[in-house]
Amino acid sequence: MNILLILQNFVKRAGLIGMVGPALIVLILAMMVLPLPPMLLDILFTFNIAVSIMVLLVSMNTNKALDFAIFPTVLLITTLLRLSLNVASTRVVLLEGHTGPDAAGKVIESFGNFLVGGNYAVGIVVFAILVVINFVVITKGAGRIAEVGARFTLDAMPGKQMAIDADLNAGLIGEDVARKRRAEIAQEADFYGAMDGASKFVRGDAVAGIIILFISIIGGMVVGVLQHDLDISVAAKNYTLLTIGDGLVAQIPALVISTAAGLVVSRVASDENIGQQLIRQLFKQPQIIILTAIIIGSMGLIPSMPHFAFLSLAGAMGALAYYLIQKNEQEAAALEQTAAEVVPVIPETNEARWEDVEQVDVLGLEVGYRLIALVDKTQDGDLLRRIKGIRKKFTQDIGFLPPAVHIRDNLDLRPNGYRITLKGVDVGSGEAYTHMLLAINPGNVTGELHGGIPTRDPAFGLPAVWIESALRDQAQVMGYTVVDPGTVVATHLSHLLSSRAAELLGRQEVQQLLDHIAKVSPKLVEDLVPKTLPLGVVQKVLQNLLDEGMHIRDMRTIVETLAENASRTQDPYQLTALVRVALGPAIVQQFYPSAQELQVIGMDKELEYILIQAMQSSQNGIGIEPGLADTVLRETRAAAETQENMGLPAVMLVPAQLRDLLARFLKRAVPNIRVISHDEVPDFKTIRVTAMVGGRA
């Protein structure tokens, strides 16, 4: 044992593990040149058979193709090994074949005598059949599947990448998981491409086996008759049996390897291996087995049929069906008994108390009974994990911790329906199908999906179709973004959280946020609340910022600005304007991440003057004459559409005294536009007006 450990450590330290592959290739190629004794040939032929069986068993016990990603390389190495053994054995057959049928070793002799009964005519036919099966059926089919798989995988890569990016942006996965999934997609494409090429080696091996067969037979007879003075019939028998045995020894492992290649590329990835899938899917319905038993039994009753074979098989299948029916009934009875044991306990009625008052959940997710599996960990539901990821990403992006999401089932909803509530009010709803996938049309698909359930993406309103899992690859090839039902619900929830961040920021969240800042800068918070500003004013300022799509991660700047200006005004809208000026560089960077020149929507000077006069003459400071309001809305929509068509953000630049008025006025009518003031633009940025409201750029 110690010697083995010492040897293992020596191999690791010397770096010899990395030399195993090159050394193996060199040895295989050396067998084509160096003569090998019959005893060594027996060992190598046995090793070849063992390797082929091992490869077959490994391919049957993998759950997906990438679990055996080295298979194309193994296919090439085993093909080279068979060809090298063919060359080495052919050399021995031609040199020593005149001595008898055991000249090339016991393995070849056994295959030549036992498998074909010593009859070389039968051996030639059997060898030809094996070559046809390997070349025409298995290898050709596996190569075609690998070719189509490689093509579909490459075509589906953009859709899969979009799905990964969508999960990453929604906070459902982290950067490490996204990087791993992208690597798996690339590996899958490389695997099927390599399999497509490697299958050509196997087909070439089959052709080489046929050519080597005829060359060995003809060459052996020439050598035996002309060099060793054998009778032509004796020479034909000796060399033909040796050649046939040699061919069978090579073709049987080749057939096993080809079968393994077909199994690897033809199976669909799942959490079960081939044996588990066969048992679960083939014997799932006892009624099918009963019908098959009846048909086989009826055929067995025909007078000319072999009654024993047909009737015995029909009886065995009937017994299997009876066993499966009994098993299903026992499982159903066990479930009913478990449900019956759960007896609802009716509590004793007491007087009403304040503890009976239930507060409305700030955030709630209600699901129909068919969607319970999405939130049940015992049924592999991962929606809870995704919601945790959404809250974490929201906290990192927006700047405060949102309330927890309370999940409950609701029998009043449709079985596949769900509803998202904010303070008890329905703010979003939709439907999801647990055993289907949602194919979303991002606007550039190349075809239509038929047979699904047409709908719309509940988060963004894009046209979509609920499809079966088998259509995933087809949908991705067409350009659809395919997501599972858990992702649909999670993305909808994430979108609603971002769009309603202001409503989620209550006084408790603001106080927790200030307490968190106080741990780092205690004096800063102590001078602000409650000495100079009430907590409610700070809350309103933060809500105003969130309401216009800004984050509040830079709380240091916000708190410092509020503390500096609290002595002059406590109006939350004026304080918001001052905070926006302090956050100007961050606001501009949010819309123009790396641009030095800001291409914005401008406003005609005369229209600016009219709006300022209207605002000053209004009693509440926000009145605009209806005709003027209609003109501003119409031209703002047109300018925003022009910006978006040019691939630019819809940002309007106006004077500081108009910014708050126009932002609130345009919020509902033109929700995609953002209004900034001249004071918010940093001095180091240049401005270019690309669209105009009330005039021309």
Judged on CB neighbours under 10 Å (0-12, 13-18, 19+), 461 is exposed
Confidence at residue 596, expressed as pLDDT on a 0 to 100 scale: 86
pLDDT level of residue 1 (50, 70, 90 thresholds): very low
* 85 shares a domain with 219: yes
Confidence at residue 433, expressed as pLDDT on a 0 to 100 scale: 92
**Within a domain: 287:** yes
CA 294 – CA 291 distance, rounded (Å): 5
Percent of the residues in the chain that have a pLDDT greater than 90, as a whole number: 22
CA angle 485, 489, 495 (to 5 degrees): 140
pLDDT digits (tens, 9 = 90+) for 87-105: 777 777 777 766 666 666 6
**Within a domain: 342:** no
**Within a domain: 637:** yes
Confidence at residue 349, expressed as pLDDT on a 0 to 100 scale: 58
* 297 shares a domain with 260: no
pLDDT level of residue 12 (50, 70, 90 thresholds): low
In 3D, which of 246, 247, 248, 241 has the Cα closest to residue 120?
Answer: 241
Tokens of 456: 């719309």
Lowest mean pLDDT among 302-306, 665-669, 686-690: 302-306
* 304 shares a domain with 252: no
Would the pLDDT of 462 be above 80? yes
Other beta carbons less than 10 A from residue 671's beta carbon? 12
* 309 shares a domain with 234: no
CA 107 – CA 42 distance, rounded (Å): 6
Would the pLDDT of 271 be above 60? no
* 376 shares a domain with 324: no
Would the pLDDT of 86 be above 80? no
Would the pLDDT of 466 be above 90? yes
**Within a domain: 355:** no
Q: What is the DSSP string of 208-262?
A: HHHHHHHHHHHHHHHIIIIIS---HHHHHHHHHHHHHHHHHHHHHHHHHHHHHHH
**Within a domain: 354:** no
**Within a domain: 378:** yes
Confidence at residue 26, expressed as pLDDT on a 0 to 100 scale: 75
Confidence at residue 346, expressed as pLDDT on a 0 to 100 scale: 52
pLDDT digits (tens, 9 = 90+) for 349-402: 567 777 767 778 889 999 998 898 888 776 667 888 888 889 999 999 999 999
84 and 32 Cβ atoms separated by less than 8 Å: yes
* 398 shares a domain with 493: yes
* 261 shares a domain with 406: no
The model scores a pTM over 0.75:
no
Would the pLDDT of 44 be above 50? yes
* 234 shares a domain with 97: yes
pLDDT digits (tens, 9 = 90+) for 614-631: 777 765 555 677 888 888
- Residue 541 is part of a domain; what is its CATH number? 1.10.8.540
CA 195 – CA 296 distance, rounded (Å): 40
Would the pLDDT of 542 be above 50? yes
In 3D, which of 295, 131, 100, 301 has the Cα closest to residue 213?
Answer: 131
Would the pLDDT of 697 be above 60? no
* 212 shares a domain with 108: yes
Would the pLDDT of 429 be above 90? yes
- Residue 485 is part of a domain; what is its CATH number? 3.40.30.60
Element (H, E) at 425: strand 425-431
* 602 shares a domain with 456: no
* 413 shares a domain with 479: yes
**Within a domain: 347:** no
Would the pLDDT of 59 be above 60? yes
pLDDT digits (tens, 9 = 90+) for 308-342: 787 888 888 888 888 888 887 787 777 666 655 55
**Within a domain: 345:** no
- State the average pLDDT for the chain: 80
Instruction: Tell me how many domains the chain contains.
Output: 6
**Dihedral class, residue 422 (left if φ above 0, else alpha if ψ from -120 to 50, else beta):** beta
pLDDT digits (tens, 9 = 90+) for 280-307: 666 677 787 888 888 888 887 887 778 7
Last residue of a domain, one of 524, 559, 582: 582
Percent of the residues in the chain that have a pLDDT greater than 70, as a whole number: 79
- 657 or 696, greater pLDDT: 657
Q: Which domain holds residue 481?
A: 360-500
**Dihedral class, residue 118 (left if φ above 0, else alpha if ψ from -120 to 50, else beta):** left
Confidence at residue 273, expressed as pLDDT on a 0 to 100 scale: 63
Would the pLDDT of 152 be above 70? no
Confidence at residue 440, expressed as pLDDT on a 0 to 100 scale: 93
Last residue of a domain, one of 516, 551, 582: 582
* 254 shares a domain with 111: yes
